[in-house]
Amino acid sequence: MRLSRIQEHLTAHNVPFQYYEEDDCGSITFVHKGLSYHIWEYPAPERGAQSNVRSAGKSEDYDENYEDRILEVLETWWQ
């Protein structure tokens, strides 16, 4: 299972999501406050992720420590 800490975070905050995994890459889609979000992993050797969690209308790439960086953004939603 990929992106496990993000999945745990969403579950802890009662946010339903869909998780898919293919070729050792995780993909999460979910809706929060009426907006659609995604987190898509890139395969190795480029390992990273693309997500629109910072701004629902704009995707951005995350490289090193991508799961930590995405979690930092998600944690601001409940402060």
Q: Residue 2 has what pLDDT?
A: 95
When the pLDDT of each residue in the chain is averaged and rounded to a whole number, the result is 95
Tell me the whole-structure pTM to 2 decimals.
0.93
Number of domains, the chain:
1
Question: Is residue 78 scored above 90 in pLDDT?
Answer: no
> pLDDT tens digits for 34-66?
999 999 999 988 899 999 999 998 999 999 899
Rg of the chain over Cα atoms, rounded to whole angstroms, equals 12
Tell me how far the alpha carbon of residue 20 is from its chain's centroid. Answer: 12
The C-alpha atoms of residue 60 and residue 76 are separated, in whole angstroms, by 17
Q: Which domain holds residue 65?
A: 4-76
